[in-house]
Amino acid sequence: MNPNDTLSTALLIAGAIFFLAGTVGLLRFPDVYTRLHAITKADNVGLGLVVMGLAVQAETWAEAGKLLLIWCLVLLAGASVSHLIARGALTRGIKLWRR
């Protein structure tokens, strides 16, 4: 295995672990706000690591740039969407979780 493949494998598997964490959080956390916290992990870090793992393997700069562009779009969308959902949930009176 050449160093590129090793690096790419490590990044991809780390990304998959973050996706798993996001899904488990979505299923296990108690209210809207904590679940929002869980899914943004998958959105930002999970996809970021997968994109980096694939960008290492890309043959041209254009390919790697496109992967990064996709990630940036998801980052932008994820941030604004989380904000919108959290604010919408607050104004609609969804209660915060208390132990």
List residues near another protein by CB under 8 A.
5, 8-9, 12-13, 15-16, 19-20, 22-23, 26-27, 30-32, 35-36, 39, 42-43, 46-47, 50-51, 54, 57, 63, 66-67, 69-70, 73-74, 76-78, 80-81, 84-85, 88-89, 92-95
Q: What is the chain's length?
A: 99
CB of 82: closest distance to another protein in angstroms? 9
CB of 40: closest distance to another protein in angstroms? 9
CB of 4: closest distance to another protein in angstroms? 10
